[in-house]
Amino acid sequence: MGRFKSMLYRFMYGRYGTDKLGTCLLVAYIVLIFVHSILTIFVESIVFDLVISLISLALAFFIFYRMFSRNIAKRRRENEKFCGFFTLRKNKFKDRKTHVYRKCPQCKAILRLPKAKGKHFVVCPRCKHRFSVRGR
Ligand SMILES: [Zn+2]
């Protein structure tokens, strides 16, 4: 292993590194820079430049902060939350004809329910709260 590589390796030891959220933030950062460079052709505003620069700076800071973070459990939870959001969207779309998704009013758990007409009662499997669901 080269000297630089081993230094980098030692530096990254015990740190979080990259994940899906990190990759998406990086893509968002690149897109932002790209779109901004195109928009500056049409928009001549210091305020606009400043705002975009601040956003991209904050984004870059957040990307590096997560990468070098030692709080691995917390970063992992962030990533799971992020991935879960998209998985839910995807599933909602996939079985939109057969199922509906409703939030339990008590524990906020998201329930996947088979589609049916009229008013129904549902018991939440997590907190056993009974609530009505209308017009699925
Ligand atoms: Zn519940």
| pLDDT single digits (tens) 64-77 | 999 999 999 999 99
Rounded CA-CA distance 94/99 in Å is: 9
Measure 73 CA to ligand 1 centroid, in angstroms. Answer: 26
The 8-class DSSP code of residue 130 comes to E
Rounded CA-CA distance 114/97 in Å is: 9
Rounded CA-CA distance 26/17 in Å is: 13
Would you place residue 12 in the very low, low, confident or very high pLDDT band (cuts 50, 70, 90)? confident
pLDDT at 1: 66
| pLDDT single digits (tens) 43-98 | 888 999 999 999 999 999 999 999 999 999 999 999 999 999 999 999 999 999 99
Percent of the chain clearing pLDDT 70 (strictly above): 98
Measure 90 CA to ligand 1 centroid, in angstroms. Answer: 22
Rounded CA-CA distance 107/93 in Å is: 24
The domain limits of the chain are 15-94, 96-136
Measure 102 CA to ligand 1 centroid, in angstroms. Answer: 10
Residue 26 has pLDDT above 90, yes or no: yes
